[in-house]
Structure 1
Amino acid sequence: MRPNIQQAGLTASDRTRLDNQRVAFRADASLEAGTGHVMRCLTLADALREKGAECWFVCRAHPGHLAELIRSRGHHCHLLDTAPESEQDIASASSPAHARWLGCDWVLDAAQSRDILAELHPAWLVVDHYALDASWESRLRHHVGRIMVIDDLADRPHDCDLLLDQNLGRQPDDYRELVPPGCTLLTGPRYALLRPEFAALRGYSLERRQLPVLKQVLITMGGVDKFNVTGQVLNALRCAPLPDDCRILVVMGPKAPWLTQIEDLAATLHWPTEVLVNANNMAQLMASSDLAIGAAGSTSWERCCLGLPTLMMIIADNQRKVAGYLMSAGAAECIQTENMEENIINWFNNYISAPEISTKMTRCAISIIDGLGAWRVSDVIVSTSMERYV
């Protein structure tokens, strides 16, 4: 269910005032950083467009960039050239922990971004990048109206007016010393940036989980899956006691480096196994699945919204806290990648003897998030933008 304009706090006259107001996004997708930063920015951009904003993305042309997807969603995208390989190792002791993800010196990135933003004069600049901090943001301050940061780490200072950290367990105090005194802090899954179809399918998804079954397993390790965890999972499932009439769905990005190998492996499994590339109906796939095996990344909130029982894999250090909180909340279980085959077989044996495991996970997961976070965040942006007209 999607809020209408009145429910979202936006009147018809407000929408007229927002026409042609620009919001710029600085986010990257790459084989190293994955696709999650750009994907959640796209969700916010879609919500803002429905409220009258015009959205522009500034992305670096890393291998695995998503410029084509951004444009196909009706948004503008400027691609920054990649730096020569000899100039990409630019991290210093004072740099953010993920500085290498930028692919160039932050001063150069700020200058290149400034050239674009100085022409756009956006009302808002949204920054979603682990490699950028207050130093970069300060250099763009005079070329934009306001700055919003999307973060998950709370590990570096920011010069921003609004900060979003959508992770379970995150508190405003985690950022008090990292942002200016007047910065508005939005924390927790209440503000998770989910596309509207997840909230729309929530009722259907919960209805079909009232009697636990295991007919469809969904495997999602992110758009890139650089370390081929998907292949490890499929090999581990060979000996797992899945029902004979079960089917397996694997979702991967079009630029995933192991895609061909996964397609070949899928053809050898006992159960019908389909590899879906660049699926645009993730909410439907999750709502129609009975169990997910996936990374503890941003898709965690999509699974929670739909009450989808989940076996999590930690495939990046920045996923550890999210996984820990979800386990503590009872919303998912974590499978260690070491001895994966044994761990997966043991879990399925436990599930067969106690299928209520999945019912408990569903109940705990849906209490975390309702799927309307993108509307809440866009409302804050819009209401703040309206101040200039008062």
Structure 2
Amino acid sequence: MYILIRVDSSTLIGSGHLMRCLTLAERHRQNGDEVTFICRDLAGNLSGLVQDNGFKLVVLPRSNCDKILTGYEKWLTVSQEQDAADVVKIIQQLGKVNRVVIDSYAIDEKWEKIVRPYTDELFVIDDLANRKHDCDILLDQNFYLNKEERYKELVPEQCKLLLGPEHALLREEFYLAKEKMKPRDGKLHNILVFYGGADATNETSKAIEALSLLKSNGELQNVNITVVVGGSNLRNESISNHCLKEDFKYLCQVNNMAELMAEADLMLGAGGTTTWERCFLSLPAIVTAVAENQFHICDDCATAGIIHYLGQWNKVTIYDICEAVRKFTNSEMSISMQKKMSQLFS
């Protein structure tokens, strides 16, 4: 099969969509399929990771669009019609395309109807269930209490739905890490901090301040703290300096996240795609929602007891984080959360 993947990354979008598409692309490659990515040249993009992983990349030019875009349309930086026309031109140059994968909150049936005549199959990756799709397969890997109801009347009747964490796009390293990891005893030995590739709301600095305060109070004695940031994080230098001052381990754009998660006893992070990596490794987490699309997911995950949810980024303080970390010095809370996460994949 020839697979085309339309996905973007940027300072605004973050890196989660691109990373999960790279995971999907690797599965196709293992099946002998050929994969090409189409990504637009956006500010702070990480499209270079596509070629670093050995996949073909076609870069769409930066936009000169003078149309006022709102909501998730801003992600594309052009109209859906223009973006779809750009993709059709590429398909015509490439020849036969068996499947087009779309991972963008800015794309809906308007785009898909334009591209449909040029491919055998449309595969949509979504989290929002807030718009109609003209697709053959839809994947939503997130945990929702009402997951079976969310896409009713939003996709064609014949569309195949892949819903829930059991369909999560996890890199091979996570399966290997799970095989090798030692059982956690519920005590705090290692804390991992990671709020995504861009961390546009700067939750990392907030977490470092909170952990520094707990350290200075003598509450995290003999606890190792590792802070990970993405290459697109605009505050890398200041975060690095802060970690050096506090004697926290600082890492940038790592390729061993599964190993770091397996070694951790608690993670401070966001409510994005990393959620399912954490859950797969039964890693307890204190979570802040850093985007509107994470609110519902975090609420439902908290209700199910698989995360400790602090709320929206603009309402979470360093003192909220301190109080949450203190709760995880209670091993019973950690062990209970681990059991509930493991049941998601059983």
The bucket for the TM-score relative to the shorter chain is over 0.9
Does residue 239 in structure 1 map to residue 216 in structure 2? no
Alignment deviations for residues 112-158 of structure 1 (CA, whole Å, 9 cap, x no partner)? 11100122221000000000100101101111111000000011111
2:113 is aligned, of 117, 138, 147, to 138
Indicate the residue corresponding to 1:153 in structure 2: 128
Residue in 2 that maps onto 1:81 = 61
Match of 1:129 in 2: 104
Q: Which amino acid is 2:68 matched to?
A: D
2:188–2:328 CA contact under 8 A, matched in 1: no
**What is the distance in 1 between the residues matched to 2:187 and 2:108?**
46
TM-score when scaled to structure 2? 0.94
Corresponding residue of 2:239? 262
Aligned residue in 1 for 2:198: 224
Cα 1:284/1:242, change in 2 over 3 Å: farther
Q: Which residue does the alignment assign to 2:155? A: 179
Alpha-carbon distance between aligned partners in 2 of 1:87 and 1:356, rounded to the nearest angstrom = 56
Stretch moving more, 178-187 or 295-304: 178-187
The answer to whether residue 229 in structure 2 is matched with residue 252 in structure 1 is yes
Residue in 2 that maps onto 1:34 = 14
| 1:179-205 CA-partner distances (Å, limit 9, x unpaired) | 112111111111111112212222433
Letter in 1 for 2:191: V
Partner in structure 1 of residue 183 of structure 2: 208
Q: Any conservation in 2 of the 1:216–1:290 contact (CA below 8 Å)?
A: yes
State the 1:252 CA deviation. Answer: 1.1
Deviates more, 1:196-205 or 1:56-65: 196-205
* Equivalent position to 2:289, from 286, 308, 314: 314
The question of whether the paired residues in 2 share the 8 Å contact of 1:172 and 1:186 is answered with: no
- The answer to whether structure 1 residue 72 and structure 2 residue 48 are counterparts is no
- Deviates further, 39-48 or 337-346: 337-346
| Alpha-carbon spacing, 1:171–1:334, altered in 2? closer, same or farther (3 Å) | closer
* TM-score normalised over the length of structure 1: 0.84
| Paired position in structure 1 for 2:141 | 166
Please show how residues 310-389 of structure 1 align to structure 2 within 5 Å. 310-336=285-311, 337=313, 338=315, 340-352=317-329, 354-369=330-345
Query: Residues 194 and 268 of structure 2 are in contact (CA less than 8 Å); yes or no, is this contact kept in structure 1?
Result: yes
- Superposition deviation, residue 275 in structure 1: 1.6
Instruction: Return the letter of the residue paired with 1:228.
Output: N
Question: Residues 326 and 332 of structure 1 are in contact (CA less than 8 Å); yes or no, is this contact kept in structure 2?
Answer: yes
Q: Give the counterpart of 1:55 among 12, 35, 42.
A: 35
8 Å CA contact retained: 1:88, 1:103? no
Gaps of 5+ in 1: 1-20, 92-96, 371-390
Provide the rounded CA distance (Å) in 2 between the counterparts of 1:177 and 1:45: 29
* Distance in 2 (alpha carbons) for counterparts of 1:339 and 1:306: 26
- Listed one character per residue, the Cα deviations across residues 62-121 of structure 1 (whole Å, up to 9, x for unaligned) are 01222210011111110000113x626334xxxxx4111111122111111110012222
What CA distance in whole angstroms lies between the structure 2 residues aligned with 1:348 and 1:180?
45
Deviations 1:216-235 (A, max 9, x none): 11111000001211001111
Q: CA deviation at 1:253?
A: 1.1
Letter of the 2:180 counterpart: Y
User: Against the structure 1 CA distance between its residues 175 and 348, is the aligned structure 2 distance closer, same or farther, given a 3 Å change threshold?
Assistant: closer
For residue 329 of structure 1, what is the amino acid of its counterpart? A
Residue 19 of structure 2 is aligned to residue 45 of structure 1 = no
| Alignment partners' CA distance in 1, 2:22 and 2:100 | 14
How far did residue 242 of structure 1 move?
4.1
Contact kept, 8 Å, 1:233 with 1:340, in 2: the verdict is no
In structure 2, the CA distance between the partners of 1:339 and 1:167, relative to structure 1 (3 Å rule), is closer
Q: Matched residues in 2 for 1:325 and 1:268: separation? A: 37
Q: Which residue of 2 aligns with 1:191?
A: 167
Inter-partner Cα distance in structure 2 for 1:301 and 1:77: 27
**Using the alignment, how far apart are the partners of 1:217 and 1:305 within structure 2?**
17
Deviations 1:6-36, CA, capped at 9 Å, x for gaps:
xxxxxxxxxxxxxxx2100001001001111
CA contact under 8 A between 2:8 and 2:47: conserved in structure 1? no
How many residues are paired up? 339
Retained in 2: the 8 A contact 1:156–1:178?
Answer: yes
Please give the per-residue CA displacement for 1:304-340, whole angstroms capped at 9, x wherever unaligned: 0001110001111111111112111111101244352
Q: Secondary structure at the match of 1:33?
A: coil
CA RMSD of aligned residues (A): 1.5
Distance 2:67 2:75 in 1: 9
Amino acid at match of 1:182: Q
